[in-house]
């Protein structure tokens, strides 16, 4: 074990699960410190990894100083202004610890993708793919955390199954004429959309599955899909959406096939006033 008394910076799923793991292995986890006003992890993990072991979740807080020379001796944390995210002077508190665990976000590992000449998307920081999870390089497909960082392995499996199916088809039938790719844009409240591209010409009866992260916490938001600026789908309101839980929407492929030539698709959230 790297230490005995631990402070964790970041309350995404990995920070939360590490809090429980460190507790299981005999550490005293003093606090989980989170810059945002909410945990970006699953609610289940907040309850079962922190609450179960009475580990405090310090929202709107960050680490402003680390004490110690050869070894961490403690950290100073402070409350941050909710808007500016800057530490508020006078709110500092010192926590003695011998380990600071940083769990401050994941991005896809792109070494292979870049080496293969795959285009990357700015918002997921992973490959740009179409509805079959095929990249801009013919015959190269991406799924799982190399594509975008998932919360749950079940969705990785589902995504991989579809990518695998498409890859098998490619191997058997060879390169198909995909037609023109239509970009999928991120509208209000949507970040990290996957797929970023649709090929209407090659769509089958299989629905197109969109996944993304809500930009913020929204109550009563609907997922809506526009084709060329016209709303074609208006989802049911979700009681709550949050960046910590990936949102998804399966869309009937007919909506993209019927339109003839389409030039763009937008996925957005609509929040009631």
Chain residues binding other proteins by CB under 8 A are 24, 42-44, 46-48, 51-52, 217, 239-242, 244-245
210-245 b/e with 16+ CB inside 10 Å = b? bbbbbbeebeebbbbbbbeeeebeebebbeebbbbb
Q: Which is nearer to other proteins, 119 or 216 (CB)?
A: 216
Burial class (CB in 10 A: 0-12, 13-18, 19+), 104: exposed
Q: Minimum distance from CB of 188 to other proteins (Å)?
A: 19
Q: Which is nearer to other proteins, 67 or 152 (CB)?
A: 152
**Torsion angles phi and psi, residue 8, rounded to 5:** -110, 130
Instruction: Decide: 227 and 265 in contact? Cβ < 8 Å.
Output: yes
Least Å distance between CB 242 and other proteins? 4
Q: Which is nearer to other proteins, 245 or 270 (CB)?
A: 245
Q: How far is the CB of 100 from other proteins (least distance, A)?
A: 22
**Contacts of 76 by beta carbon, 8 Å cutoff, 6+ apart:** 63, 64, 65, 66, 67, 92, 93, 94, 95
Phi, psi of 233 (to 5 degrees): -150, 135
Q: At closest approach, how far in Å is the CB of 218 from other proteins?
A: 10
Q: Which is nearer to other proteins, 108 or 244 (CB)?
A: 244
CA angle 60, 62, 63 (to 5 degrees): 165
Q: Judged by CB, which is closer to other proteins: 41, or 127?
A: 41
- Give how far Cα 82 sits from Cα of 65, 112, 245, Å: 20, 38, 21
Least distance CB 224 / other proteins (angstroms): 20
In the bound state with other proteins, the residue whose beta carbon lies nearer, of 14 and 118, is: 14
Instruction: Name, in order, each residue with C-beta under 8 angstroms of 78's C-beta and a sequence gap of 6 or more.
Output: 61, 62, 64, 87, 88, 89, 91, 92, 93
Nearest approach, Cβ of residue 48 and other proteins (Å): 6
DSSP state of 249: E
- CB of 50 or CB of 140, closer to other proteins: 50
From CA 266, how far away is CA 222, in angstroms rounded?
14
Least distance to other proteins from the beta carbon of 234, Å? 21
């Amino acid at each position: 074990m790297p230490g005995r008394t631990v402070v964790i910076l970041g309350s995404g799923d990995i920070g939360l699960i590490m809090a429980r793991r460190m507790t299981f292995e005999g550490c005293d986890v003093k606090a989980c410190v989170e810059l945002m006003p909410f945990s970006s992890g699953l609610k289940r993990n907040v309850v079962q990894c922190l609450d179960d072991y009475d580990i405090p979740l310090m929202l709107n807080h960050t680490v402003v100083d680390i004490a110690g020379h050869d070894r961490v001796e403690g950290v100073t944390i402070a409350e941050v202004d909710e808007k500016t995210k800057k530490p508020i002077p006078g709110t500092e508190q010192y926590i003695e610890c011998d380990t600071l665990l940083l769990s401050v976000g994941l991005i896809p590992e792109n070494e292979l993708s870049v080496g293969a000449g795959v285009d990357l998307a700015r918002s997921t920081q992973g490959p740009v793919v179409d509805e079959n999870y095929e990249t801009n390089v013919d015959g190269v497909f991406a799924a799982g955390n190399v594509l975008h960082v998932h919360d749950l392995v079940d969705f990785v499996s589902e995504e991989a199954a579809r990518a695998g199916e498409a890859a098998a088809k490619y191997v058997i039938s060879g390169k198909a004429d995909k037609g023109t790719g239509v970009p999928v844009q991120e509208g209000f409240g949507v970040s990290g959309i996957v797929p970023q591209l649709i090929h209407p010409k090659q769509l089958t009866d299989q629905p197109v599955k969109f996944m993304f992260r809500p930009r913020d916490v929204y109550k009563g938001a609907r997922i809506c899909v526009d084709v060329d600026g016209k709303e074609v789908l208006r989802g049911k309101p979700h009681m709550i959406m949050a960046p910590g839980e990936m949102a998804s929407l399966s869309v009937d492929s007919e909506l993209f096939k019927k339109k003839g030539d389409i030039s763009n698709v937008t996925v957005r959230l609509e929040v009631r006033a």
